[in-house]
Amino acid sequence: MNQLRNRVQLIGNLGQNPEIIALDNGKSLAKMTIATNESYKNHKGETVKETQWHNVVAWGNQAKIVEQYLTKGKEICIEGKLSNRSYTDKDGVKRYITEIVCQEILMLGGKK
């Protein structure tokens, strides 16, 4: 049951080309955003479409896969865990971010 405690699965489209960062220690980091869509009918019977944006990071081999194969608009399925962190921006303001640390990537949508 411990494997289910912090687990996220999303299917969506990349909002932009991934940002690839080569770190000093030789590791790679990929940052990307994924859009997921949901549709429902409101009280008037109208279809409403909502888009949610998710920040995703991938490390090591996953980052290499992202760099090699993923571009803006690609449909992917990711599995990972939620991570919360904070940082101080250039103006000295403390910011908080929730992101998904990617552990598995599945490319969907076939070849284009």
Domains of the chain: 2-107 (2.40.50.140)
pLDDT band at 3 (very low <50, low <70, confident <90, very high): low
- Whether 112 has a pLDDT exceeding 60, the answer reads no
The whole-number average pLDDT for the span 41-62 is 94
pLDDT at 109: 77
DSSP state of 109: S
State the number of CA atoms in the 13 A half-sphere of 11 facing the CB.
Answer: 5
Distance CA 106, CA 104 (A): 7
User: What is the predicted pLDDT for the residue at 62?
Assistant: 93
For residue 100, what are the contacts with CB-CB under 8 A and spacing of at least 6?
Answer: 8, 10, 54, 55, 56, 57, 78, 80, 81, 82, 83
Mean pLDDT of 35-61: 94
pLDDT tens profile 17-39: 999 999 888 889 999 999 999 99
